[in-house]
């Protein structure tokens, strides 16, 4: 494979980083269909970069950090924008942002205290992220199709909040167990 081809996964991830503010600007300007299109392309690029990195062995340490950061930025910018536009409820965005801040704080504590934790996503964390992406996609589809805000968008918010809260608690348990393990060693 060409030397340049090995950088395609990180390039796709970089484009996903750029898509987050683009989606926000498109939504603010009332270009809902374009925002939905960019969001869909961002999702496809996530699948493509993961496939290329694994299939051809192009995974890099940089990419292992950049990929989830791009995903989180896309989701967080989308939630904040949809909340400012009164599409997503503030309480849901608070749960989504709170969980991510708690995870970042947890990772800092793991590094700071050298806790015995493998920093990797849990299944419930991936499910939570899938629910968040699904919620944003549903909200964008409803806006693009001018379908209004049916009750099922509310129930999608409830389901997303539940998955996100359970994920938050699961990561909290992992951190608490690591702290307890470290405390036993300090005695």
In eight-state DSSP terms, residue 7 is G
Dihedrals phi, psi of 162, to nearest 5 degrees? -65, -50
Q: Which tens digits make up the pLDDT trace of 3-42?
A: 777 778 888 889 999 999 999 999 999 999 999 999 999 9
pLDDT tens digits, 159-175: 999 999 999 999 999 99
The pair phi, psi for residue 110, each rounded to 5°, is -60, -45
Give pLDDT, residue 187.
61
Q: Buried (b) or exposed (e) across 63-87, using 16+ Cβ within 10 A?
A: beebbeebbbbbbbbbbebbbeeeb
**Domains assigned to the chain:** 5-186 (1.20.120.1760)
């Amino acid at each position: 494979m060409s030397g340049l081809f090995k950088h395609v996964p990180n390039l796709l991830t970089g484009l996903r980083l750029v898509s987050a503010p683009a989606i926000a600007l498109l939504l603010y300007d009332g270009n809902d269909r374009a925002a939905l299109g960019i969001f869909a392309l961002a999702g496809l690029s996530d699948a493509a970069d993961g496939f290329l990195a694994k299939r051809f062995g192009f995974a890099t340490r940089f990419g292992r950090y950049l990929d989830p950061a791009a995903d989180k930025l896309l989701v967080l910018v989308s939630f904040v924008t949809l909340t400012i536009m009164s599409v997503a409820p503030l309480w849901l965005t608070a749960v989504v942002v709170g969980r991510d801040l708690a995870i970042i704080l947890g990772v800092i504590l793991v590094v700071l205290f050298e806790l015995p934790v493998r920093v990797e996503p849990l299944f419930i964390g991936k499910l939570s992220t899938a629910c968040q992406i699904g919620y944003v996609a549903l909200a964008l589809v409803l806006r693009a199709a001018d379908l209004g805000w049916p009750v099922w968008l509310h129930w999608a918010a409830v389901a997303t909040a539940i998955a996100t809260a359970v994920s938050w608690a699961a990561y909290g348990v992992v951190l608490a167990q690591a702290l307890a393990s470290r405390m036993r060693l300090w005695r």
